[in-house]
Amino acid sequence: MNKKKKRAGTARYNKWGYIFLLPFVIVYVIFQLIPLIDTIYNSFFENYRSGLKQIGPNFVGLANYAKLITTGDLPTYFANTMIMWVLGFIPQIVLSLILAYWFSDPSLRLKGQRFFKTVIYLPNLIMAAAFAMLFFTLFSDSGPINSILVGAGIFSQPYSFFSHVGSTRGLVAFMNFIMWFGNTTILLMAGMMGIDTSLYEAAQVDGATSSQVFWKITLPLLKPILLYVMITSLIGGLQMFDVPQILTGGTGDPNRASMTMIMYLNNHLYSKNYGMAGALSVILFIITGLLSLLVYRMVGGTADDSYGKPAKRSRKAERR
């Protein structure tokens, strides 16, 4: 009797669940779901401006998609994005692993840990647009970096960083690396702290060297987090925009070699070519959707110990 009454008592409150959910649902439907459906709808129409003439909207089926892929623009920009992501991600993950290992190694007793963590996390909070503008001025032909390099006799004349493919892509990758390695370090460190210390003690008793401990214990146990970091970083990398946009003034030069997919989307949005912009968005949506499915299965499927990470990583995805 008592039990039944109690259950009825809580049930009375449960309609409040819907009431508290209402703001989220309304705002999500209006500002996310409807735009998403609209975007998909647009992708099937020819709709752009040619000079002063408005073409469309005419239903063209999958023609926009075919055009995106066959003209070669999308594959090129996808490759650019991936190259710049990989160039930044490899040093980032290697360095973050090493730093996280050092920070969490008690036998190393590193002093000033808080200071170092504060410093390496700092670039993550800097406005990417302003940081890119800063790099643009610093690395310009008459900027301080060239003035130092020429002054030191390394170059006989200023090196034009932004008219060479390698240096432009390299700078974008370097900026992404500097902006994100602190964040990755802190994440991996938290993962390492979660490893049972008795494993380390046992290894120490058995006389394992620190590199053996790293390769045989830390790394295998860290695999889920590493995989997670990689996929979320990839999702963030696909959204690369602010840095190359400002660095190259939106052109993606030299030779469009640093034009990313979102920059391409941005160009279509500005020129009001809604058909192409829609098709491009849908392709991006499918790619990120597949990748997030992987993340979701890793997060949702596993036990409590992997909780919490996505909240902050997807922040990364949002901010690229």
Partner 1 sequence: MEQKRKRVKRAGHGRRVVAYIVLAVMSFLCLVWFYILFINATRSNGELGRGFSPIPSTHLLENWNNLIQGTLPVFNGLFNSFFIAITSSVLTVYFSSMTAYAIHVYDFKLKKFMFTFILSVMMIPTQVTALGFVQLVDRMGLEDNFIPLIIPAIASPAVFYYMKQYMTSALPMSLVEASRIDGASEFRTFNRIVLPIMKPAMAVQMIFAFVGSWNNYFTPALILHNDKMKTLPILIAQLRAADWLKFDMGQVYMMIAFSIFPVIVVYIILSRYIVGGVALGAVKG
Report 204-263 residues binding partner 1 (CB under 8 A): 210, 232, 235, 238-239, 241-242, 245-246, 249-250, 262
Rule CB under 8 A: choose which of 94, 125, 219, 227 binds partner 1: 125
What are phi and psi for residue 240, nearest 5 degrees? Answer: -55, 125
Please identify which residue in 3, 4, 5, 15 interacts with partner 1, judged by CB under 8 A.
Answer: 15
Of 124, 239, 243, 114, nearest to 181 by C-alpha is 124
* Cα dist from 155 to 123, 149, 151, 162, whole Å: 29, 6, 8, 16
Least CB distance to partner 1 at residue 35 (A): 3
Instruction: Tell me how far CA of residue 127 lies from CA of 20, 74, 169, 261, in angstroms.
Output: 34, 28, 20, 21
What is the per-residue binding string for partner 1 in 70-109, x denoting contact by CB under 8 A? -------------------------x--xx--x----xxx
Query: How far does the chain reach from its first CA to its final CA, in angstroms?
Result: 57
- C-alpha 178/C-alpha 91 separation (Å) is 10
**Is 42 an interacting residue with respect to partner 1 (CB under 8 A)?**
yes
The rounded distance, in Å, linking the Cα atoms of 42 and 167 is: 37
The rounded distance, in Å, linking the Cα atoms of 118 and 315 is 19
* Segment 262 to 291, residues that bind partner 1, using CB under 8 A: 262, 265-266, 269, 274, 277-278, 281-282, 284-285, 288-289, 291
Q: Which is nearer to partner 1, 69 or 145 (CB)?
A: 145
Q: What is the spatial distance between Cα 103 and Cα 116, in angstroms, rounded to a whole number? A: 10
Least distance CB 131 / partner 1 (angstroms): 7
CB of 16 to partner 1, least distance (A): 5
Based on CB atoms, which residue is closest to partner 1, 87 or 317? 317
- Residue ranges in 135-174 that form contacts with partner 1 under rule CB under 8 A: 135-138, 142, 144-145, 147-148, 151
